[in-house]
Chain A
Amino acid sequence: MALPDTRYRARYLFGAVVVGHILLISAQVGSRSGPPLLQAGLMTALTTTQRAAWAVVSGVRAVWDGYAYLRGTYADNQRLSRENTELRVLIQQERANARGTEELRALLGLRTRTPWTTAAAEVVAGSVSPNFQSIVLDKGRQDGVQRDMPVINAIGVVGRVVVVAERTSVVQLAIDRNAAAGCVIERTGAQGIVLGNGDGSLRMEYLSATAEMERGDHVVTAGTDRVYPRGLLVGVVERVDRNGPTFRSVIVRPAVDFSQLTSALVLLAPAPVASLADDGLVVK
């Protein structure tokens, strides 16, 4: 067989690359999952480089923060000490409240909640494209991280694990355009779905037009999407719009500051199942 003319070789290559991409995309659309080998290979190679790069940057930052930038440390220390005392008091109060709740749960014959097992992870890289809102964590399969595990921080929901490599994992942030979570308005119990806008904000949709809510209401996870357990803070209602005659749309300000993410917790257990059903609150 004759080799293609060198003048047209670039065009043939272009055609082959386009067809290859279309086949690759079609394979995933059909199976609803990425080709694990190619994705894992690419991810492992790139995140290893990112980990190394972050180690260098964080080393330099550590030297700067630890030795050169010590101004105001005493004041910070005093402030943190005060905060620590306040938080200890708060923990005491919460513990007392929890004891009361457990007694009520026992009275109602409900199952005791499984304590959360978490893996603390450091963010080693941010998103590599403005089209995606994701982060790379330094914890992976060898630390027990699996796909679809929820990721939180001290304030609320960060996102969910979408790709896992041996020592790293990629987390789709809750503000990503393709992220969604079943949520409720904490005060009224109105249910809806919180979606990312891709620009740092969230919106809650599929809320009934009669649902009661107001600015400042807390939006928490409903525990019905088989990813996030119930009760994690997602954000605060900022604006309420009408979305057609039957639904309302709500703009939600995320609770987590995604521009300041340095670490996160991966919820390893309980397994991502509907916790309402666990509690016997859902009639099957």
Chain B
Amino acid sequence: MTALRVVAAGVMALVLQGLLTRLVGAPSMRVDLGLVAVVWIALRFGRVPGLLGGTLVGLGQDALGGGILGLAGLAKSVAGFATGIIGTQFIVTQTVSRLMVFVGATLLHALVFVGLSTLLGLKTPPDPSLDVAIQSLSNAVVGLFLFQVFELTPGARALWRARRERLKRRQKRRYH
């Protein structure tokens, strides 16, 4: 079941990124939904699903980007595994701690990706710091929003159910 969820989250992130870039326009899309999905998988399911999710999403991005297969794959696998370890060693439930995890994962991903690209003689931006900073913040904002949505939905449902039960009990008391 976990494997299925990991695959579904990865594929959904790639399809959504493709659709959003198509609608918004290629150059203005700074958020990496694939990495957001990998961080979510790693925090939700642990380091091994994070590692495998990173491999799947990264290889998918490489295949559809037309670059060298394995570049984003390796970068995302490392980011997923490291995030999984952080998620198991520390309590990452607060907004600030999650924000730090998203920023850290983006920085680690960029470090591996740019480092490998430089080693292979591929072109890298002359000063990637601004790019990485924008991407870190974008990923963190989108990731935190998605976490809120995922967590609020079942919570909101439970709250609604509890209120309904309370109303029923009140109505019963009124009739008896």
Measuring CB to CB, which residues of chain A are less than 8 angstroms from any residue of chain B?
10, 13-14, 17-18, 21-22, 24-25, 28-29, 34-35, 38-39, 42-43, 46-47, 49-50, 53-54, 57, 123-136, 162-163, 170-173, 175, 177-178, 195, 197-200, 258-261
Q: Which of A42, A127, A163 touches B18 (beta carbons < 8 Å)?
A: A127
> B27's contact among A39, A50, A131, A259, by CB below 8 Å, is which?
A259
Q: Is the CB of B61 within 8 A of A132?
A: yes
Top 8 A-B residue pairs of the complex, sorted by shortest distance between their CB atoms: A259-B25, A126-B21, A200-B27, A132-B65, A125-B18, A162-B66, A42-B63, A21-B74
Q: Is the CB of B70 within 8 A of A128?
A: no
Question: B17 contacts A128, CB within 8 Å?
Answer: yes
A57-B65 in contact (CB<8A) = no
8 A-B pairs with C-beta separation under 8 A: A14-B51, A17-B52, A24-B73, A46-B14, A126-B23, A129-B65, A130-B30, A172-B66
Question: Known contacts being A177-B123, A259-B24, is A38 close to B69, with CB within 8 Å?
Answer: yes
A21 to B125, Cβ gap below 8 A? Answer: no
**Any A CB within 8 A of the CB of B55:** yes
Question: Given that A18-B77, A170-B64 are contacting pairs, would A126 and B32 also be in contact in the complex, using a CB cutoff of 8 Å?
Answer: no
- Contact A259–B18 (Cβ < 8 Å): no
Inside 8 A of A259's CB, which chain B residues have their CB?
A: 24-28
CA distance in complex: A260, B120 (Å): 33
List the B side residues contacting A195 at CB < 8 Å.
123
**Which A residues are in CB contact (< 8 Å) with B123?**
177-178, 195, 198
* A interface majority secondary structure: mixed
B47 to chain A, nearest CB (A): 5
Partner of A46, one of B20, B60, B113, B125: B60
Given contacts A128-B17, A132-B65, A175-B27, is CB(A28)–CB(B70) below 8 Å? yes
Chain A residue at smallest Cβ distance from B78: A18
**Is A24 within 8 A of B72, CB to CB?**
no
State whether A135 and B63 are in contact (beta carbons under 8 Å apart), knowing that A13-B48, A34-B68, A130-B32 are contacts in the complex.
no
* Cα distance A13–B54 in the bound complex, in angstroms: 13
- B29, B116, B125, B131: the one within 8 Å of A126 (CB): B29
B31 within 8 A of A: yes
Interface check B81, CB cutoff 8 A = yes
State in angstroms the CA–CA spacing of A25 and B60 once bound together.
15
Cβ-defined contact, A128 with B26, below 8 A: no
Residue B124 interfacial (CB < 8 Å): yes
Say whether, besides A125-B19, A131-B65, A172-B66, A21 and B77 are in contact (CB < 8 Å).
yes
Contact call A10/B47, Cβ cutoff below 8 A:
yes
Instruction: Collect the chain B residues with CB atoms within 8 Å of residue A135's CB.
Output: 22, 26
With A42-B63, A128-B65, A134-B66 as contacts: A18 and B74 at CB distance below 8 Å: yes
Cβ contact within 8 Å between B116 and A46:
no
A49 touches B11 (CB 8 A): yes
- Let me know if B34 and A128 touch, CB within 8 A: yes
Residues of A within 8 A of B32 (CB): 129-131
Is the beta-carbon distance between A34 and B69 smaller than 8 angstroms? yes
Within 8 A of A (CB), among B1-47: 11, 14-15, 17-32, 34, 47
Contact of B71 among A25, A47, A57 (CB under 8 A): A25
CB distance from A97 to the nearest CB of B (A): 35
A127-B55 contact given A17-B77, A178-B67, CB 8 Å threshold? no
Contact of B69 among A28, A133, A258 (CB under 8 A): A28
B48 cross-chain contacts in A, Cβ below 8 A:
10, 13
A129 touches B19 (CB 8 A): no
Q: List the A residue with the shortest CB-CB distance to B84.
A: A10
Determine the chain A residues whose CB is within 8 A of the CB of B15 once the complex forms.
46, 49-50, 53, 125
Question: How long is the Cα–Cα vector from A54 to B21 in the complex, in angstroms?
Answer: 12
Chain A CB within 8 A of B83 CB: no
If the complex has contacts A13-B48, A177-B124, are A47 and B19 also in contact, measured as CB distance less than 8 A? no
Which chain A positions have C-beta within 8 A of B11?
46, 49
